[in-house]
Chain A
Amino acid sequence: MTPALAIAGLRTEFRIGGAWHPAVSDLSLDLMPNETLALVGESGCGKSVTAMSVMGLIRPPVGRVTGGRILLEGRDIAGLPEAELESVRGDRMAMIFQEPMTALNPVMTVGDQVAESLRIHRGLSRTEALGRARALFEEVKIPSAAARLGEYPHQFSGGMRQRVMIAVALACDPAVLLADEPTTALDVTIQAQVLGLLSDLRARHGMAVLFITHNLGVVAQIADRVAVMYAGQIVEQGPVGAIFARPAHPYTRALFAAIPRLDRPDQALSAIGGRVPPLDAMPDGCRFAPRCPLRRAGCELPQTLEPLSEEHAVRCHVAAHA
């Protein structure tokens, strides 16, 4: 089966003080239809940059994609001219964002915002597109859908706005959905509802979902596989069960250790000391080494992603040969 999305050797650079530095380097991952891959890591590790690169939304002078292939349903879309990318964006691949409060245009009715991609990609008339938008509103469970099409984003709550965003993304029935922390800004009960909705929709449409999050609880609930990112690289990748049962990379372990446990009294909050190295001062060897409790000889060398089992791989010479 062809992956819905296959990224191979992606490299995205940003300009800092006149020089280009990679924010994502040599990133590869495959995403099958009807599969959810969680991309996990702390802020600034390159999760969003990866999604934005796939969408072709990183363009000079801010940033540039300098290497790798991005195969969407087998077709390489890396480096396509803007006009051709526009015809793919919002049609075969779609994206939803973290901030439902600001991600919708405040001066356009939500119905028109959903209808817009249908009019652009499917050539529907406004009336036809609005009719389709109404069905989409019902599918994402917005109550009294027909009446709310003509309302504006400020008349919706945060959770409802995120449902509108999802309707916008689903409008053209995309093969790949990139979800960039779609529930982070929502409160916990709404978050659970939206996650449930996303799982349903994925199953019904057979979509491949790349789910970006820093919340491991969300990962456990929604993901089939997990890729852990650190400083622009994937440091560990595997099925969700294996990662949760046997986290191999010291960074993954530190992430799990940072979750407070309810079954033990009086524990100090465990945080990872230090910070992510800045883009213009990236170590040559293991990028986590400066913060790693298991640091030893060999960590100063560049690390490769080594298989632990058939589907589980880790970028750490200590963990790989333990």
Chain B
Amino acid sequence: MAGVTLDTVRKIYAGNVEAVKGVSLGIEDGSFCVLVGPSGCGKSTLLRMIAGLETISGGEIKIGNRVVNQVEPADRDIAMVFQNYALYPHMSVYDNMAYGLRNRKTPKDEIEKRVKEAARILAIEPFLDRKPRALSGGQRQRVAMGRAIVRKPQVFLFDEPLSNLDAKLRVQMRVEIKRLQKALGVTSIYVTHDQVEAMTLSDKLVVMSGGQIEQVGSPSEVYRRPETRFVATFIGSPPMNILPGKVEGPGRVSVGGQVIAVTDMREGLTPGSSIEVGLRPEDVQAGSAPGASSLAMEVDFVEELGATQLFHGKVAGTDFVVQASTGQIGADTRKLTLSIDPGNVHLFDPQSTKRLGRV
């Protein structure tokens, strides 16, 4: 097994379109790395470059200690699971899994051993003789993973493998992928646009936007301390509220004249300069608490989610969402006082959109 190292990797398509703009990233051996970002952010291109399906316009990709820029996909010792599974429709499940091994001239009894084992792990033993079209989406997904497992690769690559499944199956397969990866201990790189998948699966979360990496970290780091406004609003659901504010002094900002205390604030900011104040819908409480700052909110309407309710409205003229447990706030409330814990306030530079936290 091996880690993967990217060094200022670039992809420039014909017509000078730069899809990936110099990405450097180290993925440790055995870890589960998720690339997440909106569509068109270059995450899939990056994955396909690691797989060898796209040429590399600049930089270097290493799997283990070997530079693989010029190595054929089949010789990179990787396995890939595709979004539409890409199973060979005319081959049985067994042949689908065995095909790569046969091309590699693996002895027959070894192939049989590996396919049977993978089928046992994935619980697809009863379907080995069937054609892919006779399987359900979830079963096809398992076969696609089985095809990856039997190869015993150094790296698994997943390209949005769950997006063709229905919601319930997606949750189930997500858990299964995680469990499988832990059991096999193979370095995995997983591309998705679904932030829930990204948060739950990853050891290492890479948020991408516009062909660049916005932030790398553990899921909780990325959630707790987003480095840019993009990451702040992309990770977390419903997304973080961003309010325009002003610097009042060390540890104090104001939003529409209401002053809030902030724990994590860069020193030496000029009082009176504008700043963006980020608050997660789940981090604000209704009602005033002693020692906490407060904001006034006007409620427009309420969304019921079962266990929680989302209150949509405005704070100082800007759209704002508050998440609260059902029943905590009356559904016909029109005016709310929100108490803000100083530790839950995120500050961003309006120009660079970078976090203005403590250095």
A and B together in one complex: no
